[in-house]
């Protein structure tokens, strides 16, 4: 049988910056969250009538609450060191996915309302109002940031686009324009105990299946206790340990180790996994609530 032929591209010595394609990633953005996911987190169920007023007020709160936000907004000198460091820009070639350009979506509104020059000479400093078009750009492009912080590694001032993305997402949630996926799994984590939405009976059945599997394989009755009061150790795992290969092998291993050591331990149906998705919507308050 002849060997298959593959067309393998030659890797260049230096990264090739793509040709700019303005607006190629414009659109509606990810699915928006609904009332059933917004309300449990304390956010409006839909876009509120006085959203501009609330958004500007929230921006003022964030810049005062988190010093890093204001520092990053004020210290950028547009040197361009970050432009080709974002994988979203390299993959899409949309200039608004350059970290500096994505920041400017937020920075232009910040300058308009919170700086002297922006209030009195807006065109001179690129200050802009937060209108419907700008809000749409916020929702679309700030959800194209994965918060990997690669851009901050190359920024000579250490500007962290992730912090600005988080602030923008928190403003969006405050006016009722949340992202469905993040808010949905956060609601599950807070109300049920895990982002998968596994209720206590389903979790208990999963652990019983593991016990049967281990006993069948080893002949040893390893137990996976759940909601045991007074246990010395509370085990909180990643959610993938409950359902996905090879992660579930880790959970099997935890049980074997605890059994061999003879320690008193338990898992909790109220906090069965340790991921905190509050970071992805930018709210430190929600992070604390989900923790």
Question: pLDDT by residue (tens digit) across 48-80?
Answer: 999 999 999 999 999 999 999 999 999 999 999
Instruction: Please say whether the beta carbons of 172 and 165 come within 8 A.
Output: no
* Interval 89-146: pLDDT, tens: 999 999 999 999 999 999 999 999 999 999 999 999 999 999 999 999 999 999 999 9
Q: State the sign of the Cα–Cα–Cα–Cα dihedral 15, 73, 283, 273.
A: positive
Q: Are residues 234 and 209 in the same domain?
A: yes
Q: How confident is the model at residue 154 (pLDDT cuts 50, 70, 90)?
A: very high
Q: What is the mean pLDDT of residues 211-216?
A: 94
Residue 6 included in any domain: no
Residue 262 included in any domain: yes
Considering the entire predicted model, what is its pTM?
0.83
Q: Are residues 179 and 210 in the same domain?
A: no
Residue 87 included in any domain: yes
Q: Work out the number of other CB atoms within 10 angstroms of the CB of residue 2.
A: 4
The CA distance from 133 to 97, in Å, is 17
- Token pair for residue 255? 């049980």
**Pseudo-torsion of CA 267, 271, 272, 277, nearest 10°?**
-150
CA distances from 27 to 96, 108, 114, 176 (A): 13, 21, 29, 19
Q: Are residues 162 and 120 in the same domain?
A: yes
Q: How confident is the model at residue 245 (pLDDT cuts 50, 70, 90)?
A: confident
Q: What is the mean pLDDT of residues 185-192?
A: 86
Q: Are residues 79 and 206 in the same domain?
A: no
The CA distance from 134 to 51, in Å, is 13
Q: Which phi-psi region, left, alpha or beta, contains residue 203 (left: φ > 0; alpha: ψ -120 to 50)? A: alpha
**Which CATH number is 158's domain given?**
1.10.1060
The CA distance from 22 to 5, in Å, is 36
Minimum mean pLDDT range among 59-73, 128-142, 162-176, 194-208: 194-208
Q: How many domains does the chain have?
A: 2
- 276 Cβ contact partners less than 8 Å away, ≥ 6 residues apart: 189, 287, 290, 291
Residue 90 included in any domain: yes
The CA distance from 32 to 45, in Å, is 10
The CA distance from 281 to 172, in Å, is 9
What share of residues in the chain are helix, strand, coil (percent, to 5)? 55, 5, 45
Q: Work out the number of other CB atoms within 10 angstroms of the CB of residue 252.
A: 17
Which of 109 and 18 is assigned the larger pLDDT? 109
Residue 30 included in any domain: no
Mean model confidence pLDDT for the chain:
91
Q: Are residues 123 and 227 in the same domain?
A: no
Q: Are residues 56 and 181 in the same domain?
A: yes
The CA distance from 204 to 225, in Å, is 9
Which residues span the domain enclosing 167? 35-188
Q: Is 254 helix (H, G, I), strand (E, B) or coil?
A: helix
């Amino acid at each position: 049988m002849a060997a298959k032929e593959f067309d393998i591209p030659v890797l260049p010595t230096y990264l090739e910056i793509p040709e700019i394609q303005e607006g190629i990633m414009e659109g509606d953005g990810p699915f928006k969250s609904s009332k059933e996911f917004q309300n449990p987190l304390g956010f409006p169920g839909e876009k509120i009538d006085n959203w501009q007023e609330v958004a500007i007020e929230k921006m003022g709160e964030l810049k005062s609450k988190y010093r890093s936000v204001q520092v990053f907004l004020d210290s950028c000198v547009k040197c361009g060191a970050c432009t080709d460091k974002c994988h979203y820009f390299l993959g899409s070639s949309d200039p608004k996915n350059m970290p500096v350009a994505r920041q400017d979506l937020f920075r232009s509104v910040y300058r308009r309302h919170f700086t002297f020059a922006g209030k009195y000479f807006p065109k001179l400093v690129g200050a802009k109002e937060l209108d419907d078009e700008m809000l749409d750009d916020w929702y679309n492009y700030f959800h194209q940031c994965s918060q990997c912080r690669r851009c901050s590694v190359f920024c000579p001032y250490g500007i962290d686009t992730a912090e600005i993305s988080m602030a923008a997402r928190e403003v969006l949630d405050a006016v009722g324009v949340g992202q469905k996926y993040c808010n949905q799994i956060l609601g599950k984590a807070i109300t049920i105990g895990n982002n998968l939405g596994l209720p206590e009976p389903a979790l208990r059945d999963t652990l019983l299946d593991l016990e049967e599997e281990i006993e069948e394989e080893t002949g040893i009755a390893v137990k996976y206790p759940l909601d045991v009061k007074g246990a010395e150790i509370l085990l909180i795992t990643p959610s993938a340990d409950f359902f996905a290969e090879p992660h579930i092998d880790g959970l099997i291993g935890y049980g074997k180790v605890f059994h061999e050591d003879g320690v008193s331990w338990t898992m909790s149906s109220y906090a069965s996994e340790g991921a905190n998705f509050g970071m992805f919507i930018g709210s430190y308050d929600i992070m604390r609530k989900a923790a």
